[in-house]
Amino acid sequence: MLDELAAAGDIFKEALKRYHRTCFDLQKSCITRGLEVKLPDELSSRVVQEMELFSFYESTLRDARSALGYVRKHTILYTNNALPREIISQIFGLVATEEHSNLEYEEYTGAIRIVSLKVLTP
């Protein structure tokens, strides 16, 4: 999937650059010729077709962006919140006993290690 995403992204980027350049070349051509010059019928109808396709292009891009955003969000959440089982079991143990406690922790290499457990009495 990585290769397909990279290849599709590269092809899309080049096609979008080409499309953008072509649209601006057409605009420059019209500006140079002046507003009174009539476009050939084929070109004129193609411009109308392209304008009508923009809603399709935009919705397709929004869908693709949404799909990639979903993947990014869930991948980041999973990797950032993946705690070791020992920590999770200690947390659940503390919650299950309903004791008021204060955990001191230190961070190292992206993980959390419980340094000491102080039980507070009411």
* Same domain? 15 vs 41: yes
* Same domain? 101 vs 43: no
* Same domain? 56 vs 110: no
pLDDT digits (tens, 9 = 90+) for 99-110: 544 555 454 545
* Same domain? 42 vs 75: yes
* Domain region containing 91: 85-119
* Same domain? 74 vs 103: no
* Residue 99: strand, helix, or coil: coil
DSSP 34: -
* Same domain? 76 vs 89: no
Prediction pTM value: 0.58
Q: Which of 65, 59, 105 is nearest to 86 (CA)?
A: 105
State the total domains in the chain: 2
pLDDT digits (tens, 9 = 90+) for 16-57: 999 999 999 999 988 888 767 788 899 999 999 999 999 999
pLDDT digits (tens, 9 = 90+) for 65-85: 999 999 988 776 555 556 777
Query: Mean of the pLDDT values across residues 3-13?
Result: 96
* Same domain? 18 vs 65: yes
pLDDT of residue 32: 86
* Residue 102: strand, helix, or coil: strand
* Same domain? 48 vs 101: no
* Same domain? 9 vs 41: yes
Q: Is 70 exceeded by the pLDDT of residue 120?
A: no
Distances (CA, A) of 30 to 33, 45, 49: 5, 15, 18
Structure-token pair, residue 26: 């057409």
Q: Which residues contact 23 (CB under 8 A, 6 or more apart)?
A: 50
Query: Count of CB atoms within 10 A of residue 91's CB?
Result: 13
pLDDT of residue 81: 59
Contact 117, 101 (CB under 8 A): yes
Q: Which has more pLDDT, 95 or 34? A: 34
